[in-house]
Structure 1
Amino acid sequence: MNVLITGANRGLGYEIAAEALERGHSVIAGVRNPDEDHSGLKLLGDKHGERLTLTRLDVTDEKGIAELAASLQHEGRTLGAIVNNAAILTARNTPIELLDMDEVAKTFEINLYGPMRVVKHFLPLLTETQAAIINISSEAGSISNAYPGDYPYAISKTALNMFSEQLHVYLKERDIQVLGVHPGWMRTDMGGSNAPTDPRLPARGILDLIERHTVPGARFRFVDYTGKEMPI
């Protein structure tokens, strides 16, 4: 299986790439700037060779996304999974009265429009058997458990859940699994050092979902990394 991952240079994206490679898959690791020091991915490349492709993939750059998709298609590459992982968390604990709307717009560009751009251009390549689209979501996007704060992040993830649901309806006859996945509070740059979860654990769960070892029975396409239904 060929797995495309956005934001693959660190945190959960890196761990998903590492887990996929360990399981024998090939990974197209999308990063915003390939010229930066991606030592972790370099080590993965040294270990797994040509099964890892490091490529520029800025989810805010639709022209670049389209060019990458066209290049891979020209090479005859197909995809078995798309993991929309790239995201930002800004304006933490900022009251609505002080919220910078530019931060909201920037968050939506990456957290929502980014996955939409990626799916728009890479869906024609998603032709491998029992393919999957995994949109990394968050419990913050649950309307049932809404809280005042993290407005840009939470609202963008709520909208991402809706996008997952729409894609599920659109693609179910093609047997493409679409899920919005809450990975939990993890020890990453976003989650901080006090988080309880090693990101490799949800990475394993996400690969189990992609490989359909775990099959969610939820009504909606919003689940945690074990496949358990999340509250919409």
Structure 2
Amino acid sequence: MKIFITGANRGLGLALASTAVERGHTVIAGSRDGENPTGKLKVLQERFPDKVLSVSLDVTSEQSISIAANQIMEKEGSIDAIINNAGVLYERDAKIEDLDFSLLELTMNVNLYGPMRVMKHFLPLLKQGTNQTVINISSDAGSIANAYGGDYPYAISKTALNMFSKQLNHYLSNQQIRVYAVHPGWIKTDMGGDKARGSPIETASNLLDILEKKKEIDRDLFFINHRGEAMPL
């Protein structure tokens, strides 16, 4: 399977890339420094030179995404899965009276418009693949039923991402392409913090099980947790 992952240079994205190549899949790792990866992504690419293709990708730039899609089309011709993982978390503790709207706009640009841009330019590649799946990394913060008074930019962006996932799932249903918005759990990453109880490797393993169709998920479900269980809308 050829899997395209955004934000693959750290956190959950890196765990997904590592887990995927260890299972024998090919990973196309998108990140801002993709042409010259550093840190653990560089180590992973050196360890699996035939399984990791690193590409430069800025999800806030449609031009960057278009260039990356064209590069992958030339090198691979198709992909089988997309994981829209790149995301930001700003203004976590800000009250509505103090909210910095420039950071709200940036959050929407990355967390919502980013996946939309990716799907615009990568869907032709995905349609050439087999047994295709799209995973948009969402959050329980995006549940309207469980809304709380905080994390305004992040929560609102993830609620909107859930809507986009639902729309895309319906749009692609006649082509048997599944689209999920997935709550990854509270995991130990730069975003999740040290107090988080979950492991990014465990979540990555569960997400790969979803891609590999090892989990039976009802056709009507689109907002799920990483174990494939329904999340409250």
TM bucket, shorter chain: over 0.9
Greater shift in the superposed pair: 163-172 or 41-50: 41-50
The structural deviation recorded for 1:83 is: 0.3
Query: Could you tell me which residue of structure 1 aligns to residue 63 of structure 2?
Result: 63
Query: Could you tell me which residue of structure 1 aligns to residue 31 of structure 2?
Result: 31
Query: Could you tell me which residue of structure 2 aligns to residue 132 of structure 1?
Result: 133
Change (3 A) 1:129 1:218: closer
Matches of 1:142 and 1:75, distance apart in 2: 39
Amino acid at match of 2:135: I
Stretches (4+) displaced over 4 A: none
Matches of 2:28 and 2:59, distance apart in 1: 14
The question of 1:148 aligning with 2:149 is answered yes
The structural deviation recorded for 1:91 is: 0.2
Matches of 2:190 and 2:96, distance apart in 1: 25
The question of 1:185 aligning with 2:186 is answered yes
Q: How does 1:76-225 map to 2 (within 5 A)?
A: 76-126=76-126, 127-217=128-218, 219-225=220-226
The structural deviation recorded for 1:49 is: 1.4
The answer for unaligned runs of 5 or more in structure 2 is none
Amino acid at match of 2:103: E
Percentage of identical aligned residues: 49
Query: Could you tell me which residue of structure 1 aligns to residue 48 of structure 2?
Result: 48
Amino acid at match of 1:156: S
Amino acid at match of 1:108: M
Give the superposed CA RMSD: 1.2
Query: Could you tell me which residue of structure 1 aligns to residue 3 of structure 2?
Result: 3
Matches of 2:220 and 2:124, distance apart in 1: 27
The structural deviation recorded for 1:99 is: 0.3
Matches of 2:16 and 2:72, distance apart in 1: 21
Matches of 2:110 and 2:68, distance apart in 1: 18
Contact in 1 for aligned 2:187/2:200 (Cα 8 Å): yes
Amino acid at match of 2:8: A
The structural deviation recorded for 1:218 is: 6.8
TM-score of the superposition, structure 2-length normalised? 0.96
Amino acid at match of 2:167: Q
Contact in 1 for aligned 2:89/2:107 (Cα 8 Å): yes
Partner SS state of residue 5, structure 2: strand
Amino acid at match of 1:96: I
Residue by residue, what CA displacement relative to the aligned partner does 1:152-190 show, whole Å, maximum 9, x if unpaired? 000000000000000000001111110000000000000
Change (3 A) 1:88 1:65: same
Change (3 A) 1:36 1:69: closer
Partner SS state of residue 90, structure 1: coil
Amino acid at match of 2:67: E
Contact in 2 for aligned 1:218/1:228 (Cα 8 Å): no
Change (3 A) 1:105 1:95: same
